[in-house]
Amino acid sequence: MGIIGTSIKPFTATAFQAGKDFFDVTDEDVKGKWAVFFFYPADFTFVCPTELEDLGEKYAMLQDMDVEVYAVSTDTHFSHKAWHDTSDKIAKLNFPFLGDQNHVLARNFDVLREGVGLADRATFVVDPDGVIQIMEQTCEGVGRNANELTRKIKAAQYVRANPGQVCPAAWEEGSETLAPSLDLVGKI
C-alpha cells in the first residue's frame, strides 16, 4: 500500500459518541489535530471489543496529546449506538464511532474487503495537516495493541516537532533519537 505520506480523501460520516446526539464528521473536521482512524470488521463481534476497550483505556492520554480517535466499521451509527447500549466493554468508550455503511472511508483508506462489505482490521494515524503518517493492518484474528499505537504516535509527534531527528526501533519518549548523517553510515 502506498498510502503513507498521502492526504486523507474527502468524506462525511455520521458518528455515534456516548452522551451526544448523532453528528457528522468530515475530513475538514479532522485537520488541525492528530487523528487515529481505527478500522475494525464489525460491531457485535469477538476481537473488536477487546481491542476497542484497550484503546479506550488510552483515550484520555491520547486526548492530552491532542489526538482524536475515530473507531470505524461499515456498520451504521445506529448499530454503533445499539452495541454501546448492550455491551459492557463498548459502553465504557468515549470516542466517536463513525458509520461507514456506504464504504467511503473503507475505500478511501483502501481497507474495504470488496464483495464482503467489511473493513479490514487497520489503524491510520493522521497528522494535523491531514497527512497519513502511520498505518498498521492485521489479519482478522489478531488484535492490536494500544500501548504500541500510543508509542508510535509519540514518535511521530516528536519527529514532526524536531526536524532532522528520527526515532529508532522501540523508541520511548525521552529516549535518544538519531540525526541521520554521513557520520552515522555503517556505524549503527
Buried b (16+ CB within 10 A) or exposed e, 152-183: bbbbbbbbeeeeeeebeeebeeeeeeeeeeee
Report the alpha-carbon distance of residue 147 to residue 130 in Å, rounded: 23
- Rounded Cα gap, residues 175 and 102, in angstroms: 43
Catalytic positions: 48
Contact 119, 106 (CB under 8 A): yes
